[in-house]
A and B are shown apart, each in its own frame.
Chain A
Amino acid sequence: DTGVSQDPRHKITKRGQNVTFRCDPISEHNRLYWYRQTLGQGPEFLTYFQNEAQLEKSRLLSDRFSAERPKGSFSTLEIQRTEQGDSAMYLCASTFGGNEQFFGPGTRLTVL
């Protein structure tokens, strides 16, 4: 499969726990994006990387959120001290050249 992959697909956690999600982009894509999607809404931008550099962060990305993309390949998104409001689908997308973005299947987070 040469598409964007995300792991895990589902995560259930208790409030206050830390969680980490992984995204593997399409191999030649230099830009990687994280979005969050809640029920009834379109995806909302969280952060993006060009190669290994994190170039932009949304105001939605509180200090409990951190993202990395070591070596410009896969990326991780960590949420510390999860809150019930963090429950959402977390989507990863990648692109080369800044045109259409290709999305992974998402990680659905449920915080109890």
Chain B
Amino acid sequence: AQSVAQPEDQVNVAEGNPLTVKCTYSVSGNPYLFWYVQYPNRGLQFLLKYITGDNLVKGSYGFEAEFNKSQTSFHLKKPSALVSDSALYFCAVRDIGQAGTALIFGKGTTLSVSS
């Protein structure tokens, strides 16, 4: 069965510091991996994805994520956090071999950036 774990309910960082939001996954085949961000009372906004190729993926708003197959991880990173990055972040996965199937989401990590 596919699953996603986000081990931290909340991550706190100071503005200007680097941030990391952790994600590990489990799929039977090769993964498609995604990060989404959700602001209060809003839908999910796509940040970035990994399908194949370079393990370091760059996305919107200066975010990037590193795919690590041996550790089955896909951690979200940003070199310098902004207060406006404060939001709820979700990691999601689906099996490449199962076209059209739904995404499996983690429980989410609340990122709080202090000024």
Q: Do A and B come from one complex?
A: yes
Chain A positions within 8 Å of B, measured between CB atoms, are: 4, 6, 31, 33, 35, 40-45, 48, 50, 55-56, 58, 91, 93, 98-106, 108
Instruction: Report whether A100 and B46 are in contact in the complex, using a CB–CB cutoff of 8 Å.
Output: yes
From B34, B51, B102, B108, give the contact of A45 (CB < 8 A): B102
Closest CB of chain A to B82's CB: distance in Å? 22
State whether A106 touches B32 (Cβ < 8 A).
no
Contacts of B104 in A (CB 8 A): 45
**Chain B residue total in the interface (Cβ 8 A):** 24
C-alpha spacing A1/B22, complex, angstroms: 33
| Residues of B participating in the A interface, judged by any CB pair closer than 8 Å | 4, 32, 34, 36, 41-46, 49, 51, 90, 92, 99-108
How far in angstroms is the closest Cβ of chain A from B37? 11
* Known A40-B107, A45-B103, A48-B100; contact A99-B49, beta-carbon cutoff 8 A: yes
A-B contact pairs, 8 of them (CB 8 A): A35-B102, A42-B4, A42-B105, A43-B90, A48-B102, A55-B100, A93-B44, A104-B43
- The chain A residue with its CB closest to the CB of B46 is A100
B32 and A99 within 8 A (CB): yes
Contact A105 B43 (CB under 8 A): yes
Return chain A residues, CB-CB under 8 Å to B44: 43, 91, 93, 103
Q: Which residues of B contact A93 (CB under 8 A)?
A: 44
